[in-house]
Amino acid sequence: MGLAVLLLLGCNDSPPRARVLPGPEAPEEPNTSVDPQDTLCRSESRDPGRVTLHRLNRAEYDNTVRDLLGDTSTPARDFPPDDHGFGFDNNADVLSMSPLLMEKYSHAAQVLVETAWAKGRFSTCALNPAQPEPCARKLLRDFARKAWRRPVTEQEVEGLVAFIARAGQQGDGPEVGVKLALRSVLVSPHFLFRVELDAEPTSTAPHPIGDVELASRLSYFLWSSMPDEALLQAAEGGHLHEPSVLEAQVRRMLADPKARALVDNFAGQWLYTRALDFSQPEPRYGFDEPLRQAMRQETQLVFQEFVSGNHRFKDLLDAPFTYVNDRLAAHYGLPLPGTNAMTRVDLQGHPERAGLFGKGALLTVTANPDRTSPVKRGVWVLEQLLCKAPPPPPPDAGGLAPTVDPTLNIKARMAQHRANPTCAGCHTLMDPLGFGMENFDPVGRWRTKEEGGAAVDSSGELPGGKTFTGVVELRGVVKQDPDLSACMTRHLLTYALGRGAEAADRCTVRDISQQAEAQGGRFTDYILAIVRSGAFLQRHGEAEVSKP
């Protein structure tokens, strides 16, 4: 029986949080009855799910104006923060539009156009003051096609060219009119939102999305940015949906430096690397900005190898290498590489540092400022690796009581939670996973004694009697769990679609994880399996509701 199934059995009296679904069932074991879920997934058709109009988030906006205008000033840093849904800030359901944000968009458009104009970004032709329309028409058609990520109609082009006449009525030259038109492109819903126009808006049957819409789904999944010319041409030519063309584009895009967006935006949120910016350990731990930066870069560089390399996705849990500089190596107790630059090192002889659980960034963000938190670390494993989030704590749940006995370690102090029937069900799930990482202090240094002198106890017992001691054995338990692949898929699919995985997606998640593992289980295999899925390639409309 898998770890996730055991965990579910230990806390099945409370409903799971809305943002996390029950994970897939364990594979059918010999000499047991057939899994009803397996039978259901073999016979049931797949629902691609609903599509919500998707506003560009701040990262997508900055990357898009970078690729559209060559502007790297990151104007979205002045926008209001994006909300999060299902763990990611590209969730369309929570990306609302406010009057303040619209004001920010208008101001950014003005600055972006003026800057690009001064730098000659729009010098494809020369405006003739006596007859500016031919040049303006070409300039605006080309720009709107790229900015709106689709072909533009002649009516749309003429609407943009009309700004020249409006400027003239105010006594301004054609250059002013063209700039106004360019700004209007950047505040249009066709730029600020990823618009998908359904050819069959009232059909509830799944049907393919258009190639142009597919290009945007693909580019914002892999690059958090607009399609480039090669991708847009493949879409406009009607070939992108062809399996060989689609795979070739995916592989080309993953090899492009812009695929770094998967590291920053997918892994940055899934692995909590972004949260490191807000961690403030107490001064006594010696945590400083160079250490923060090195920890962040370590996780990013390791994940980048999984994006561009040949590693199995599951090997994130025990990858036998990492990246350190002298500052981070000294912090970890590893041999110094002799440089301030992040350097790839082999972890032979230091198995405690292998994989995710040995990374200082993760260990720091899942600790409290003044002590470790087995609960936070355990919950991270449950939510991010097994998709088995515990229910919220009851309103009267207390924190960790102050110790009156310095010989008690944190495991003994937390025993009171497991003794309380109200708390026991969930702490029995969370705490053992966190105890397995107790040899790491609040900033990820290795230790055998806690600060009060008590010996660290890193052993744990899971529901069902499975036991382990230390991070290496914990890592093995989690990696062998049959639900790990499906949970990784669930998070990646949620990010890819910009919506939360729902009950109807259970079989889709199962399909994708099985297909990816059958192809070798590399990160690229998961990406390709998602991109080939009906959830990514299809949509359905909504039936008309008759009015009373």
Residues 165 and 297 both lie in one domain = no
Give CA–CA dist 415/273, Å, rounded: 30
Task: Tell me, yes or no, whether 469 and 352 share the same domain.
Answer: yes
- Do 168 and 63 fall within a single domain? yes
Average pLDDT over all residues of the chain? 89
Per-residue pLDDT tens over the stretch 332-349: 999 999 999 999 999 999
What the block records as the tokens of 354 is 């292998």
Predicted model pTM? 0.90
What is the pLDDT, as a whole number, of residue 9?
36
294 and 189 in one domain?
A: no
Q: Which of 23-37, 269-283, 394-408 has the highest mean pLDDT?
A: 269-283
Examine the domain organization and report whether 348 and 465 are in the same domain. yes
Does 190 share its domain with 337? Answer: no
Q: How far apart are the first and last CA of the chain?
A: 53
CA pair distance 487, 503, nearest whole angstrom: 14
Task: Note whether 185 and 293 are same-domain residues.
Answer: no
- Asked which of 126, 159, 194 is the last residue of a domain, the reply is 194
Does residue 116 form part of some domain?
yes
Range with lowest mean pLDDT among 197-201, 205-209, 406-410, 509-513 = 406-410
Give the domain-ending residue among 424, 449, 479: 479
Output the pLDDT for position 19: 35
Residue 148 domain-assigned? Answer: yes
Residue 68 lies in a domain: yes
Predicted local distance difference test score (pLDDT) of residue 283: 96
The mean pLDDT of 257-265, rounded to a whole number, is 98
Do 463 and 330 lie in a common domain?
Answer: yes
pLDDT-derived band at 465 (thresholds 50, 70, 90) equals confident
Cα separation values, 345 from 321, 338, 348, 360, 409, Å? 6, 12, 9, 15, 33
Residue that finishes a domain, picked among 434, 463, 479: 479
Say if residue 471 is in the same domain as residue 348. yes
Residues 357, 466, single domain; the answer is yes
What's the alpha-carbon Rg for the chain, to the nearest Å? 26
- Tell me the three state secondary structure of residue 40: helix
Total domains in the chain come to 2
Burial of 546 (0-12, 13-18, 19+ CB in 10 A): exposed
> Does residue 437 form part of some domain?
yes
Residue-wise pLDDT tens digits, 150-181:
999 999 999 999 999 999 999 999 999 999 99
Asked whether the beta carbons of 360 and 324 are under 8 A apart, the reply is no
Write out the residue range of the structural domain in which residue 84 sits.
Answer: 54-194
Asked if the structure places residue 159 within a domain, the reply is yes
pLDDT value for 200: 80
377 domain residue, yes or no: yes
State the helix-helix crossing angle for 243-255 and 211-222, rounded to 10 degrees. Answer: 30
Supply the DSSP symbol for 12. T
> How large is the average pLDDT for residues 133-158?
98
Residue 243 resides in a domain: no
Angle among Cα 530, 264, 323 to the nearest 5 degrees reads: 110
In a domain, 255, yes or no: no
Contact 144, 160 (CB under 8 A): yes
Question: What does the alpha-carbon distance between residue 381 and residue 494 come to, in Å, rounded to a whole number?
Answer: 18
Dihedral sign, CA of 439, 442, 391, 34?
negative
Same domain, 464 and 334: yes
